[in-house]
Amino acid sequence: MRVVSWNIHWGCGRDGRIRIHAIIDVLRRLNPDVVCLQEVAANHPELEGSASANQFKQLGGAFGGFHLMEHAPSEIYKNNVPRLFGNLILSKYRISQVHRHLLPWPADPEGAAGMPRGLLETVIDAPTGKLRLLTTHLEYYSARQRMAQVQRIRDLHAEACARARLFQPDPNLDAPFQLGFRPGSAVLCGDFNFAPGAEDYQALVAPGEQGVLGLVDAWNVVHGNATRAPTAGLHGYPWPARPDCYDYFFVTDDLTDRVRAVDVQSETAASDHQPIVLELV
């Protein structure tokens, strides 16, 4: 199974022009089974390059054989028209559940501007069985909000593990209650806006309670202590000031033996972030 995660910066290149076709071309070359995208926009003409098109529909249409799941935690209305900004998952595998989680957004007197953030979760029928696939984009400006979001992700993961242990199908329940099995095993990816080893990074991968599958940085599974490839700060974009890592794949510890590759695709300049690719057997 080949998964791509990418903050596409609403398709806006270094020259300030939006080229969603360039994003689509890169994704097709990477030949993914599942695509997880952040910073997808719709009806946002005020964004750099004028992101007035519905990029969720554009990307979904370009991958017609894939199932599309979207979550726009930032939903602003102007003249009764929704302006959307958020996350998108495209999967060639069958899906059985989708959960759209809003993450905490506590008031922070010391934080600058922020926006609502979310966690998009789906249960897919991967080649080796059911798997939760989750993508997110955490707050950049407020460390307090970002830590609260990390803790909520951990709580949701613990909840999923507990439900998986207790699950018993009951065909007598009404249809909306028959969600089916939601496994503890998971792949979590996205733009986390923290550096490797930072306090919020350490909080995410800290051991949980008994029975909760641990979250492991997939880069370390493959590369050990090798220098981490930067996922932003390349190709002359004004942000960040220097190349660094903000984008990750985390896998539950029962999946580590299946991780075969984690790579950063540094060649493309279609976004201010680089796509990262995870391969599971």
Report if residue 173 sits inside a domain.
no
Report if residue 224 sits inside a domain.
yes
Stretch 13-27: mean pLDDT, rounded?
A: 96
Report if residue 238 sits inside a domain.
yes
Report if residue 125 sits inside a domain.
yes
| Count: domains in the chain | 1
Structural domain for 275, as ranges: 2-166+178-280
Stretch 248-277: mean pLDDT, rounded?
A: 98
Report if residue 215 sits inside a domain.
yes
20: domain CATH number? 3.60.10.10
Question: Which CA distances in Å does 153 have to 104, 115, 120, 189?
Answer: 10, 17, 11, 12
From the list 227, 129, 141, the residue with the least C-alpha distance to 187 is: 129
Report if residue 171 sits inside a domain.
no
Above 90 in pLDDT, residue 186?
A: yes
Structure tokens at 122: 């789906």
Report if residue 172 sits inside a domain.
no
Which residues touch 129 (CB under 8 Å, ≥6 apart)?
183
Mean of per-residue pLDDT scores for the chain: 96
Report if residue 90 sits inside a domain.
yes
pLDDT band at 179 (very low <50, low <70, confident <90, very high): confident
Q: pTM for the whole thing?
A: 0.97
